[in-house]
Amino acid sequence: MDVNTKKMKKNAFRVTKHRGFTASRIRVPGGYLEAKYLGMIQNIAETYGNGIVNITTRQGFEIPGIKFADMPKVNELIQPIIEGLDINQEVLGQGYTASGTRNVTACVGNNVCPYACYNTSLFAKKIEKAIFPNDLYFKVALTGCPNDCAKVRMHDFGIMGMTLPQYDKERCVNCGACVKACTKKSVSALATVNCKVVRDAHKCIGCGECVLNCPTGAWTRSHEKYFRLTIFGRTGKKNPRLGEDFIKWADEASIIKIICNTYDYVKNYIDPLAPGGKEHIGYIVDRTGFEEFKKWALKDVQFPANAEINTPIYWKGIKY
């Protein structure tokens, strides 16, 4: 058997422990898909796989037990899923053309969740469109609010929804619900002064608890959607660590630009001898220094007026 494993992996087929058998990896940006695709996935698993579908940790499907020889047929069956999920595909009909950059994951977001500050699925799709078919090892995740159910701080780029609370003191009756919620569930950014509420803008993390708990609509959400961008969290062997805050009150455009800029930075600085051409971005930043990364990352980025840039960044984590 003569198979180019490098090409095969790039085509989103895994080299498994069972010789001659692969697993097809279907990525679902933002974990959001129409139910009709589940039937197609079932069909692939039952026709060419071993009848099993694994729900991956990155909101994709992995279909194991596929013979190497059947990969072209699987790619044919995957085609409507790729098109339906609007995946960037360089060559039509031949499956995924990149798999190094991992599926952009997201919590359920404001399609369903009351806490979410934005539509995580839509933004995940926008990022997917902007960064694929890049093949570099990037992990991006989105979460609707600072609860961080999507665990975005364990990703290279973590995007956390925020709203800038708007206070109409004429509608405030001093019931205390916002102050209580902020103190007990969030960061104690609210205080009562003269029977009205004062927000500490520096402390506020934009979680929206004040809005959610206000019974009169004195607190409302900003029309603009804002985000906290955390960078270079990672799991792995050497130095697992949580991502640190980079930008507070970023917008969609600035985040997409920063991620795209980082691809240029990585192409320039990645260790040419990195095994499998794969190196966590954070280790590259450890090598070049944060300032060099920042120079590349912020090139031509336009931030909202209230954006705060956290610099320099020092990471913690466990060092082995």
Partner 1 sequence: MGYCLDQAGFNQILNEWSKEYFVYAPKLFKDGGSFSDTDRIRYGEIHTVEEIVFDRKSDYSYKEILLPLSQTLFFFTDDMVKEADLPKKGAVILLRSCDLHAVKRLDEIYLQNGCEDYYYKRLRDRVKFILIGCQHSFENCFCVDMGTNRIDNYDAYIEMKNGEIYVDNHNDVWKPLFTTYSRRTPEVIPAYATENKTHIHIPDGITPDIAHSKIWDEYDSRCINCGRCNFVCPTCTCFTMQDIFYVDNGKVGERRRVWASCMVDGFTDVAGGGCYRKKNGQRMRFKVLHKVYDYKKRNGYHMCVGCGRCDDICPEYISFSNSINKLDAAIKEVSINAVK
Minimum CB–partner distance for residue 142 and partner 1 (Å): 14
69 or 175, CB closer to partner 1? 175
Residues 169-188: x/- map of binding to partner 1 (CB under 8 A)?
xxxxxxxxx-----------
Report 138-167 residues binding partner 1 (CB under 8 A).
161, 163
164 or 285, CB closer to partner 1? 164
195 or 274, CB closer to partner 1? 195
Count of residues that bind partner 1 according to CB under 8 A = 34
- Decide: is 216 part of the binding site for partner 1 (CB under 8 A): yes
Q: Of the ranges 33-41, 68-76, 221-229, 292-300, which one interacts with partner 1 (CB under 8 A)?
A: 221-229
Of 140, 141, 146, the residue nearest 115 (C-alpha): 146
19 or 223, CB closer to partner 1? 223
Minimum CB–partner distance for residue 293 and partner 1 (Å): 32
- Cα gap 129→302, rounded to integer Å: 20
Q: Determine how many CB atoms are found less than 10 A away from the CB of residue 185.
A: 13
Q: With both helix axes pointing from N to C terminus, report the angle between 290-297 and 281-288 in degrees, rounded to the nearest 10.
A: 110
Residues 91-130: x/- map of binding to partner 1 (CB under 8 A)?
-------------------x---x-xxxx-----------
235 contacts 309 by C-beta, under 8 angstroms: no
Choice from 78, 164, 214, 250 touching partner 1 (CB under 8 A): 214
Minimum CB–partner distance for residue 149 and partner 1 (Å): 15
- Decide: is 254 part of the binding site for partner 1 (CB under 8 A): no
Choice from 9, 73, 221, 238 touching partner 1 (CB under 8 A): 221
Report 192-211 residues binding partner 1 (CB under 8 A).
193-195, 208, 211
Alpha carbon 42 to its chain centroid, in Å, reads 26
49 or 144, CB closer to partner 1? 144
| Contact residues: partner 1, CB under 8 A | 110, 114, 116-119, 161, 163, 169-177, 193-195, 208, 211-218, 220-223, 225
